[in-house]
Copies of this chain bind each other. A is one copy, B any other.
Amino acid sequence: MKKLEKITPQNENFAKWFTDVIQNGDLMAYGASKGSIIFKPLSFGIWDNIRKVLDEKFKSNEVQNVYLPLLIPESLLQKEKDHLQGFNPELATVTEVGGKKLTEKYFIRPTSETLFGDFFKNEVESHNDLPLILNQWANVMRWEKTTNPFLRTREFLWQEGHTIHSIEKEAVVFTKQMLQVYYEFVTEYLAIPVISGEKTPKEKFSGAEFTFTIEAMMKDGKALQSATSHYLGQNFTKVFDVKFKNKNNEFEHPYGTSWGTSTRLLGAIIMTHGDDRGIIVPPKIAPIQIDIIEILANKNPKVHEFGLYLKERLSQIFSVNLDTSMKSPGFKAANSEIHGTPLRIEVGPLDVEQNQVTFVRRDTLEKFVVNIEDVLFEAKKTLENIQNNLYTSALNRLKQNFVIATNYESFKEAIAQNKWVVTNFACNIEDEIKIKEETGASSRCIPFELGFIDTKKLKGKCFFTNKKTDTIVIFARAY
């Protein structure tokens, strides 16, 4: 049994806090190969719940699951040049088997647009075969130089959706529709407020016409791209010669989309909701929603009877754990907190006598007594309150951390304070590279709407070049 170690306070050292939380909270262990991690039961349980809920949402959008191979032959990835260039330095390459050199190299997929392109080629003949709306849950690999558990690991788990459509407009609409699925999922289930928008040319996906994104704000002010949806146009279908006979009986290349989210979401959950005691798992996605802890059960057998009864009753609706180990109640409570279980219910001899239990909320640490008659109802209400409170707190933080800047000086000042900067920007790629080098900030998105910011203060001029532009861009440092 591991001891619980002290967690570095957030405002002392946020990066150290993050590492302490994920290790103490049994979320991960470092893998044997550099930049890899092991998802332990708690983090994998959260990911599994994310998968279940998203998969249901995908299915109500007519998405079907498939599975394509891990390896991409070199010749296949070379077909789309922009795409290859975007990923090339990070490609893990299989060159030999059992000590013998292969005649062709294979890349471990960093993403699968090329594999889907090659697959679609043989699946489509006429407009009646379209749309094809597919998705896969898979592992991918990008050999990053600097890694960070959950946020940037060489291998990660994700889902990648790939669709082709006979009508351009339908594909564009679908690109937005899937972003909306992510938006609703992340806000409702993960209690993470996000800003939706379009990526600038510099930040869009290699090989896409345009990229939509949802961006979340971590407690240290840094941004975390939480999901993206790309409109690919005919980029991949032309290259892979995917074509169909349209209604005029002419050959046409279909219009593609791809969209994905990954185990980075675990990082987003931790850094949006966690506090100095550890992770807080939003109730709607928690593998364990309620921990029951017995006090002085060894001295009073009725306490354990009561604990068992409580577990049985609550398990009808919730996912419940009754810790029956020999550890002290204090240790169990600390253990429950550090693992982020949203609700803890304590029961001791006095509670048994008075037919009551004590609720402890993980988010506010508030304690209150609940009559045993009301336990189901109160648990439901409390978990809902926790979910709402997590979302509202994060939303307030988000709103308060926005700043408007109209020139580079005020921009730099705001970025240095880890603010999100709303500004006019002409979206020149070279300029954006320079800004990143000089300030560490990257453009997060061209927001679809920003209700809570008075953008009338912007002057219609690029903060960096002073050129006339009405494009509103959000900049921030990002994970």
Contact = CB atoms under 8 A, between A and B. Distances in A.
A1 interface: yes
A70 B37 CA distance: 10
Interface in A253-283: none
A370 interface: no
Contact of A128 (B1, B88, B155): B1
Interface stretch (A115-123, A302-310, A345-353, A392-400): A115-123
Given A1-B128, A33-B72, A38-B68, 8 more contacts: A29-B122, A33-B69, A45-B65, A90-B98, A92-B94, A94-B108, A95-B96, A138-B139
Nearest to A104: B33
Contact of A97 (B45, B139, B143): B143
Contact of A65 (B1, B41, B72, B96): B41
Given A1-B125, A48-B65, A65-B48, A32 B115 contact: yes
Q: Which 4 A-B pairs have the closest CB atoms?
A: A36-B69, A41-B64, A89-B98, A39-B67
A440 interface: no
A435 interface: no
A33 B106 contact: yes
B95 A91 contact: no
B95 A93 contact: yes
| Residue from A33, A37, A123, A326 with most neighbouring chain B CB atoms (10 Å) | A33
A161 B427 CA distance: 50
A40 interface: yes
Nearest to A87: B98
A31 B68 contact: yes
A395 to B, nearest CB: 31
A76 B65 CA distance: 34
Q: Which secondary structure characterizes the binding site on chain A?
A: mixed
| Residue from A41, A94, A134, A326 with most neighbouring chain B CB atoms (10 Å) | A94
Interface residues of A, number: 59
A32 B90 contact: no
Contact of A71 (B88, B98, B155): B155
A2 interface: yes
A47 B99 CA distance: 33
A388 interface: no
B32 A72 contact: yes
A129 interface: yes
A157 interface: yes
Interface string A26-62: 0001011100111111001101100000000000000
10 contacts: A31-B119, A32-B72, A37-B69, A44-B66, A89-B98, A90-B98, A92-B97, A94-B95, A108-B108, A138-B139
A10 B92 CA distance: 43
A126 interface: yes
